[in-house]
Structure 1
C-alpha cells in the first residue's frame, strides 16, 4: 500500500503530522509494507529571506499580526512538536523560499532518495536554522543524502526539474488540496493536517483491509 504526502520542508504541521504517521506505521503489523511518496507543495510562494528580520518577525509581518501573537502561535507548535518527539526551534529558523529546494527534491526522488532528502531538509530547517533558500545550503544537504554535487549545482543554475515540481503543485490543485500536510492512502483516502497517531492507525487499517479484500 502506498501513502502519498504533499508537503513543504518549512511546514511545521507537516513535520509533526508525518511524525504521527511514522508512529502509527511502527505500531501496525503491516506498517513496514507501506510505501511513502512525497510530493512538492509551496506553503508560502511569496516567502523571502530577510537577514534583518527574525523568523518570528517575518512570520508576523506576512500574517499581519502582532509579534506577540506570532510568538504565542509558534510556541503552541513547539509544544505539539515536543509531544511528537520533535525539536522545533523557531528562534534559529530562517524564513526562506523553498522553490529551488523542491526542484532538487525532484532530482533526489528520481534517484530513489526523495524521502531521505525530505527528512534531512526538515531537520535542517526546524532544528539547525539552515536557510533552505541558499544554494550552498541546498548543495551541502544534498551531498549529505548522497546526491551528485555537480548535478545539484547545475539544477540550481538552471530551470531543470521545474516541470516536475509544477506537476506536483498542479496535481494537488486538481484533487482539491487546500493546505498541507495532505495524505492520500492507497490512492483513495485523504487525511488532511497533523492528525493524531490513533486517527492515522484507523485510516491506515481501513485502507489496508479494503485493499486486501479487493
Structure 2
C-alpha cells in the first residue's frame, strides 16, 4: 500500500497530521509513505517576517478570535505530543526545505528529515529558509554535511519538487496535509486516527 502525503513544513496541521498518520499506520508493514511537496506560498520571502500567530490574526475578525484560533491549533498539537509555538515560528520560503526532504528520501531518511524540519520550525522557531539552518537540521537528521551543502548550493531536486506540485494540481489537491492512498481520491490527513484507519484499511486489501 502506497500512502502519498502532500505537505508543507510551514503548516502546523502537517505536524499534527504526521502524528495522526503515524498512529493510524502503526503495525502496518505493508504501508509505504511517500512525502510529496506542496508549497503553501511559492512566492514566500526568504526573509522571515510576521509570526505564524500574526499571520493567522490577519484572517480573523477580532483579536479574541485570533487568539482562540491559535489556542485551538496548539491544543490539538499538544494532544499529539507536539508543541506548536505559533508566536515564535515565522513563515518563510520553504522551497529549499522541500529539496532537503527529497535529499533525505534518497538516503531512506525522508521521515527523519521532515520530522527535524517540523520540530525546528514549529517548536524552536528556526529559519528554514536559511541554508546554515537547513544544513544543521539535515545533518542532525542523519545526512552527511557535504551532500547537504552540495544540494543547497545547487539545483538538485528542484524538478522533483515541481513535479510533486504539478501532480497535486492534476489530482485536485488544494491544501495540506492531504493523502492519496494507492492512487485513489485525495483526503485530508486531519482526521482522528480511527477515521484514518478506515480510509487506509479498504485499500490495503484491494
1:152 aligns with 2:148: yes
Residues 174 and 50 of structure 1, relative CA distance in 2, 3 Å threshold: same
Aligned twin of 1:20: 20
Aligned twin of 1:55: 52
SS at match of 1:24: helix
CA contact (8 A) 2:21 2:189 kept: no
Instruction: Name the stretch that deviates more: 48-57 or 101-110.
Output: 48-57
Counterparts of 2:31 and 2:15 in 1: how far apart (Å)?
Answer: 19
Aligned twin of 1:188: 184
How far has the Cα of 1:135 moved from its partner?
A: 0.9
How far has the Cα of 1:84 moved from its partner?
A: 2.4
CA contact (8 A) 2:60 2:66 kept: no
Aligned twin of 1:38: 35
Q: Given the alignment, which residue of 85, 89, 104 partners 1:89?
A: 85
Aligned twin of 2:10: 10
CA contact (8 A) 1:103 1:160 kept: yes
Residues 65 and 108 of structure 1, relative CA distance in 2, 3 Å threshold: farther
Aligned twin of 2:99: 103
Query: In the TM superposition, what whole-angstrom CA distance separates every residue of 1:124-163 from its partner, at most 9, and x where no partner exists?
Result: 1111111111111100001112212222222222222211
SS at match of 2:205: helix
Runs of 4+ in 1 over 6 A off after TM superposition: none
Aligned twin of 2:167: 171
SS at match of 1:33: coil
SS at match of 1:184: strand
SS at match of 1:3: strand
Residues 67 and 157 of structure 1, relative CA distance in 2, 3 Å threshold: farther
1:70 aligns with 2:56: no
Residues 119 and 44 of structure 1, relative CA distance in 2, 3 Å threshold: same
Counterparts of 2:182 and 2:168 in 1: how far apart (Å)?
Answer: 16
CA contact (8 A) 1:5 1:39 kept: yes
Aligned twin of 1:161: 157
Write out aligned runs for 1:93-132 (5 A).
Answer: 93-132=89-128
Instruction: Name the stretch that deviates more: 75-84 or 164-173.
Output: 75-84
Count, aligned residues: 206
How far has the Cα of 1:205 moved from its partner?
A: 1.3
How far has the Cα of 1:94 moved from its partner?
A: 2.2
